[in-house]
Structure 1
Amino acid sequence: MTANFKLAALTPDTTRARQTSVGGQVYEVVRNAIVQLQLRPGDAVSESEIAAQLGVSRQPVREAFIKLSEAGLVEIRPQRGTFVRLISVQEVENAQFLREAIEVAVVRKAALQASAAGIAQLRDIIEQQRRAAARGDHSGFLRLDEAYHQAIAGSVNCDDAWRVLDSLKAQMDRVRYLSLPEATPLDAIIDQHATIVEALETGSPETAESAMHIHLREILKSLPKLAAENRSFFAD
């Protein structure tokens, strides 16, 4: 229940924050809480409680709930309330299929076009991931994982492709938080990232494609075990 949960504060007064509506900022805060399993599948979420915690009116919270419903993260039940949706195995598999199709195309383009600066940025992110793994910072590790994939897209001007991916992968991200570190060893993910970067640096599109296929299918290997061990979180 939101009464027992403390949401992160809204984005500070930065340029990005000023360009984002209050409803958009509320959406990001609550989305992150759901994706990171701080608000768990099946939990009730209250407009009034979230509005009070974030110091906003109920209108932007209502707007955020509508967007979260469209993203498949909450279910609004008339006369009963709003609840965090259970995770659908089928939706995770569908999202993974679409993400793989897009990211493999992006990484092939990156192998042909990535600059030295872009590759240096990716290597820096991998080093940050090593440090996050060493200190057991799983949330930080996954934020860096997101930054890594976004940086590949950005390095070859495929930012629109990343925005499409970002809208697809909320269900996948919840499973990723469940999977670390037991189901998916952090060292394995780091090694896969390094292999992809090596393929980009040597300009090997086929190797980059193959490495990205392997990397993005990691979630499918752990999904059945995670669903069996967390039955209350899954709808199917």
Structure 2
Amino acid sequence: MTAQGTLITGEHGGNLSLAEHAYQLLKDRLIMLDIRPGEPINDGQLAAELGVGRTPVREALKRLETDHLVVSYPRRGTFATIVDITELAAISEIRELLEPLAARRAAENAGAALRAEIRAKADEISNVSQTQLDQTKLMRLDLSVHRLIYRAAGNAHLEDVLIRYDNLATRIWCLVLDRVPSVAGHVSEHADLLRAIADGDAEKAGKLALEHVTGFEKTIRTAL
């Protein structure tokens, strides 16, 4: 088994601790509902699956509880949190305020290298209708777009908050995925937003970000 202190290489390069590695993998499973809402989580079983000790898994689960993706009960254990559709309005209210802010800040603050990365992502998004990505891969692409915008905003606190609420919103989306039209159109909306950010057009970026979030909520409510 891998030693406790060993570092591994992350998917985008750089070293990750075992606890960070476990956190990233488990977070993805929880967001994409591979670990179903309400499902019990066995840290020993997860440690064996991930090839790490129990300690990194337990550290990861503590972080995931802060993210509201798992919940622990004394003498009962740890469970994936329930996806509560009634929270959609509260989550959307926060995102409608903060997503446009992040988009505007990204348009204002991103450096040349980030703007090039944003343009490349816009080109990738523009071709999404021609690709044969399944719904789950499209959702992961959607997540990657949001993470890029949050990073480009240059405010670590804003990034942290938005990642948390985008994760919760994505879980709701995944819950109704079989009841909504293809998410390709939802994802492709990001191309214009990304280009506005790359062009430094803060006003347009904020407007498009708001339209995207409100459109997301309407789509979910229609599916329900």
* TM-score, normalising length: structure 2: 0.77
List aligned pairs for 1:66-81, cutoff 5 A: 66-81=62-77
More displaced stretch, 39-48 vs 124-133: 124-133
List aligned pairs for 1:98-109, cutoff 5 A: 98-109=94-105
Residue 90 (structure 1) shift = 4.1
1:176 aligns with 2:173: yes
Q: Unaligned stretches of 5+ in structure 2?
A: 1-5
Q: Which residue number in structure 1 is paired with residue 80 of structure 2?
A: 84
Deviations 1:43-71 (A, max 9, x none): 12111211121222222222222222222
Residue 173 (structure 1) shift = 1.7
Q: Structure 1's 191 and 129: CA in aligned 2 closer, same or farther, altered over 3 A?
A: closer
The alignment's C-alpha RMSD in Å is 3.2
Aligned-partner residue type, residue 13 of structure 1: I
Aligned residues between the structures: 217
Q: Is the 8 A contact 1:112 1:203 kept in 2?
A: yes
1:41 is matched with which residue: 37, 46, 50?
A: 37
List aligned pairs for 1:25-40, cutoff 5 A: 25-40=21-36
Q: Unaligned stretches of 5+ in structure 1?
A: 1-10, 229-236
Aligned-partner residue type, residue 208 of structure 2: A
Aligned-partner residue type, residue 158 of structure 2: A
Q: Structure 1's 52 and 70: CA in aligned 2 closer, same or farther, altered over 3 A?
A: same
What SS does structure 1 have at the residue aligned with 2:133?
coil
* Structure 1 CA distance for aligned equivalents of residues 20 and 197 of structure 2: 35
* Structure 2 CA distance for aligned equivalents of residues 39 and 213 of structure 1: 30
Deviations 1:7-26 (A, max 9, x none): xxxx9822788754322221
Aligned-partner residue type, residue 142 of structure 1: M
What SS does structure 2 have at the residue aligned with 1:82?
strand
* Structure 1 CA distance for aligned equivalents of residues 65 and 200 of structure 2: 42
List aligned pairs for 1:106-185, cutoff 5 A: 106-112=102-108, 118-133=114-129, 134-180=131-177, 183=180, 185=182
Q: Which residue number in structure 1 is paired with residue 190 of structure 2?
A: 193
How much identity, in percent, do the aligned residues show?
A: 27
Q: Structure 1's 12 and 213: CA in aligned 2 closer, same or farther, altered over 3 A?
A: same
1:217 aligns with 2:214: yes
Q: Is the 8 A contact 1:125 1:147 kept in 2?
A: no
Q: Structure 1's 13 and 203: CA in aligned 2 closer, same or farther, altered over 3 A?
A: closer
Q: Structure 1's 33 and 12: CA in aligned 2 closer, same or farther, altered over 3 A?
A: farther
Residue 156 (structure 1) shift = 4.8
Q: Is the 8 A contact 1:51 1:61 kept in 2?
A: yes
Aligned-partner residue type, residue 32 of structure 2: Q
* TM-score, normalising length: structure 1: 0.74
